[in-house]
Structure 1
Amino acid sequence: MRLSAFSTPGRFWRGNLHTHSNLSDGALPPEEVCRRYRAEGYDFMALTDHFVGCFGYPVADTVPFRAEGFTTLIGAELHSGPMSNGELWHILAVGLPPDFAPGNAPDFRVQPGMETGPEIAARAVAAGAFVAIAHPQWSGLTLADARSLTAAHAVEVYNHGCAMGCDRPDGFAIADLLLTEGRDLSLIATDDAHFSEPDHFGGWVMVKATENTPEALLAALKSGQFYSSQGPELRDVVVEGNRVIVESSAVVSVIVQGAGTGAKAVHGQSMTRAEVPLERLGASPWLRVTVIDAAGRRAWSNPVRR
């Protein structure tokens, strides 16, 4: 069984799904943010400013900044709540309609009668968006919180802004527990760039689609036809009998993870192909792949059910 990102037609397009401008708390105007991503070789990006009243509930119109070889997805970071810790939810929504209706979030404080996080996420999915649970570690998200957000397509497992700004970039613990409970979720790496610190060009998705258009990219995201990276390339992942065969750019470690303590790593020098036995994963109902290059940068496959 070959993971769908490597078996479906098309090519990989590099994109960032979490970015801010001065329409909310970013340092740069939308046009300059888009210019910088295009100049860095990205094929697409989503500007996802904070969807709260003090910023005017922005859903940024980035259509004017599309160009040959570069497109944009319309989105926002939605806020409502509260979570278990008493703070507002942070929910990434990419592919929103420009007229997505505001909730009752005048600022980042909890208000009486707010939509719950699950309610605003479900509303975004119904409006056509690809929805992800943003930066679980940074947010102080509990497993109970995550369980409640049943509409989400994905978990943000690496957030570069949270890595650089507070060393809390991780979402794998939450994602792995949800996968073990039977949730079908994909895994995204993002920047969460504000351009006020070195929080950009550090984590991205590689989306497999036949064309670099918002419609094709959004459909591929919802289908899980992508992988995430800080630098390494994944070129093929095949589950064959009791092993996983991984092809990639040059790496020093290839790791297959599953439920609980299930994991197996293969190490070497400049490996571009590795076969990882699955005995250590036991009866895990799912698995995913991580590769690590000599600089410590990682790439992550989406999970696959066995």
Structure 2
Amino acid sequence: MIPWDAPGRFWRGNLHTHSDRSDGALPPEEVCRRYRAEGYDFLALTDHFVGAYGYPIVDTVPFRTDRFTTILGAELHSGAMANGELWHILAVGLPPGFAPSRTPTFQPIPDQESAPDLARRAVEAGAFVAIAHPQWSGLTEADARSLAGIVHAVETYNHGCAVGCDRADGFQMLDLLLTEGHRLTLCATDDAHFTEPDHFGGWVMVKAEANEPEALLAALKAGATYSSQGPEIRGIELSGDALRVDCSAAAAIIVSGRGTASKAIHGESMTTGVMPLGRFEGSPWLRVTVVDRAGRKAWANPIWR
């Protein structure tokens, strides 16, 4: 879906956050207050779903207001990745009674539920599910492929991983999976713990008719979103042999596609860019990045031609 064609308006939210119900520094009420005070429209509190913390799906309903909503969720864990470490799977929109995996700590144990089975259960329970921080996790291509046909998205920018260890990126993994034909979307998140400056750095803009959990989740699953560190993407139109992008003031508009297909338009305070698509003739998908003069970026979901 191209979200600018969808009904409703854009709502700003963060899909990945922690509180002191797991390894975050602040109580849930204060986490919600801070996001609300910073102008966010919604927040998913996604504490670590492990036995050591009591498998929390934190009830944030009491912290909703007439202008701010919350979506229940968790960061799920079960099984070992190829590097022997525990899987991290982001699940937004879980029911309060979602059955725990057998994950007592952050160490994998024998005969645990597999990551694909856990992700599939979360999807079937109604959640929007994403592969969390591929670069930070040390995800292999085989790991990613095991979830590619199940999940909705790849977490392509994680602000906590950016400031904490310089491993924020998920675009290489996303582009690989897109090239293999998997129709995934992308999301930027904070993964905030409030133990370092890991908050208010990456978010998702969701086009929906109401700032309500059900409407936001439906839009997330449909791909009616883009992600940002600051710039706005105000429209993308694919017409014939060109792609038009309308945005807030930008220093670069970049189009990426399969393999080495990529090209940028550079300028000063650009609010419109038109990219000829000859360079992308063989690419079944395209995605757009907008960069402002401060180096902050916004990313559109892949467009399938």
TM range (shorter): over 0.9
What is the identity, as a one-letter code, of the residue corresponding to 2:157?
Y
Other-structure match for 2:90 = 92
User: Structure 2: which amino acid aligns with 1:275?
Assistant: V
CA offsets 1:175-195 (integer angstroms, 9 cap, x no match): 000001000100000000000
Alignment of 1:118-267 (within 5 A): 118-149=116-147, 150-267=149-266
- Percent pairwise identity: 69
Deviation for aligned residue 1:151: 1.0
Contact 1:155 1:187 in 2 (8 A): yes
State whether residues 17 and 191 of structure 2, in contact with CA within 8 Å, keep that contact through their aligned partners in structure 1. yes
Deviations 1:199-218 (A, max 9, x none): 00000000000010000000
Mapped partners of 1:88, 1:253: distance in 2: 38
Check the 8 A contact 2:2/2:236 in 1, yes or no: no
Is the 2:2–2:303 contact (alpha carbons within 8 Å) kept by the matching residues of 1?
no
1:25 is aligned to 23
SS in 2 for 1:265: strand
Paired residue total: 304
TM-score w.r.t. length of structure 1: 0.99
8 Å CA contact 1:158, 1:169 repeated in 2: yes
The whole-number CA distance in structure 2 between the counterparts of 1:248 and 1:68 is 29
Q: For 1:5 and 1:28, how far apart are their aligned partners in 2? A: 34
Q: Which runs of 4+ in 1 moved over 3 A?
A: none
Partners of 1:174 and 1:204 in 2: CA distance: 19
- The residue type paired with residue 148 of structure 1 is S
Equivalent residue of 1:120, what SS? helix
Question: Does residue 110 of structure 1 match 2:108?
Answer: yes
Q: Mind listing any 5+ residue stretches in structure 1 that lack a counterpart?
A: none
Q: 1:245 and 1:281 mapped to 2: Cα distance?
A: 14
Given that residues 46 and 74 in structure 1 are in contact (C-alpha distance below 8 angstroms), is that contact kept between their aligned partners in structure 2?
A: yes
Where 1:41 maps in the other structure, the secondary structure is: coil
In structure 2, how many angstroms separate the alpha carbons of the residues matched to 1:241 and 1:251? 24
The within-5 A match list for 1:276-295 is 276-295=275-294
Query: In structure 1, what is the Cα distance between the partners aligned to 2:141 and 2:67?
Result: 40
In the aligned structure 2, how far is the partner of 1:239 from the partner of 1:182? 20
Cα displacement (A) at 1:242? 1.1
What TM-score do you get using the length of structure 2 for normalisation? 0.99
Q: Would you say the 8 A contact 1:264–1:281 is kept in 2?
A: no
Structure 1 residue 240, shift from structure 2 partner: 0.9
Q: Counterparts of 1:281 and 1:192 in 2: how far apart (Å)?
A: 34
Contact 2:89–2:130 (8 Å) recurs in 1? yes
Cα distance in 1 for residues equivalent to 2:126 and 2:71: 12
One-letter amino acid of the counterpart of residue 126, structure 1:
E
- 3-state DSSP of counterpart to 2:219: helix
Spell out, residue by residue over 1:207-233, the C-alpha distance to the aligned partner (whole angstroms, 9 max, x if none): 000010000000000000000000000
Task: Name the aligned partner's letter for residue 286 of structure 1.
Answer: W
